[in-house]
Amino acid sequence: MIPLAAVVAVVFGVLGLAKVMAAPRMRALATKAGFSVRVYRGIGVLEMAGATGAALGPVVPLLGVTAGGGLLLLLAGALAVHMRHRDRMPEIAPAVVCVVLVACYLTAMFGALR
């Protein structure tokens, strides 16, 4: 479970930080999605919070489950934006991979709650 928590934490920590720092690629993605950079930074803060909760999940399982649930909600929003824009699979694939990753993490975390 710890390696999976680390992967989730690193992936969402890096993505969140890139959004908060308004990296050029993230600015372009925000514009394409129809978000202001300010709103995209807010999404980045939520991703970083989820990453922190996921990292602490092996020690505090309820926090990990809550963080994973929050990340899934963010990803549902991302997928909705992709669908609204009729994006093709290459644009959607990263979000789908992240959904699978977080779902696996949550499965492990629910097992830890037992």
pLDDT tens digits along 33-49: 999 999 999 999 999 99
Cα–Cα separations (whole angstroms), residue 81 to 6, 62, 75, 88, 100: 27, 29, 10, 12, 18
pLDDT tens for each residue of 56-69: 999 999 999 999 99
Alpha-carbon Rg for the chain in angstroms: 14
pTM, two decimal places: 0.93
In the structure, what pLDDT confidence band is assigned to residue 111 with cuts at 50, 70 and 90? confident
